[in-house]
Structure 1
Amino acid sequence: MKFFYLSSTPNEDNMLEIHERECSNIPDSLDRDYLGPFNNGAEAIRKAKMISENVTLCVHCCKVSTSSVLLKKKS
């Protein structure tokens, strides 16, 4: 699990950014709110949407990646 925070000051697009605890771009402790522990940014954004509709994931620490999972059929 990772620990996520919500910036309390909007970015240049007027959005509040969600950051992981270890992000190099995380705001100072007075400029962020703790969201909680989540497995990924998608879970954190659901919680943040309860606080504000204008939320987005940090492009540096919360990159959304998808990959295919291929399963081999047992013979």
Structure 2
Amino acid sequence: MGTYYVNKNSQSNGDHEVHESICSHLPASENRQYLGVFANCGDAVREAKKYYVTADGCYYCSSPCHKK
């Protein structure tokens, strides 16, 4: 189980990346939205898509869910 956040700021391609709390690329606290505790990044990305349709997993901490 991991604690996940989504970046409130989109990347240049429009994606809002989903990060696990232990990620070295976790956005600053004012730039992230808490998603919850999930068993995997797929569940976290599904939750993030409720807020940001373009949510995608972080390449570094959620690579199985990183599509681009």
TM over 0.5: yes
Aligned alpha-carbon RMSD (Å): 1.2
Q: Counterparts of 1:57 and 1:12 in 2: how far apart (Å)?
A: 15
Task: Give the equivalent residue in structure 2 for 1:56.
Answer: 56
Structure 1 stretches lacking a partner, 5+ long: 66-75
Work out whether 1:17 is the aligned partner of 2:17: yes
Task: Give the equivalent residue in structure 1 for 2:28.
Answer: 28
Structure 2 stretches lacking a partner, 5+ long: none
Task: Give the equivalent residue in structure 2 for 1:45.
Answer: 45
Q: 1:49 Cα deviation (Å)?
A: 1.0
The alignment-based identity, stated in percent, is 32
TM score, norm. by length of structure 2: 0.90
SS at match of 1:37: strand
TM score, norm. by length of structure 1: 0.82
Q: Deviations over 1:3-47 (max 9, x none)?
A: 000000001211100000010001000000000000111000111
Q: Which has the higher helix share?
A: 2
Q: Counterparts of 1:64 and 1:6 in 2: how far apart (Å)?
A: 16
SS at match of 2:43: helix
Larger C-alpha radius of gyration, 1 or 2?
A: 1
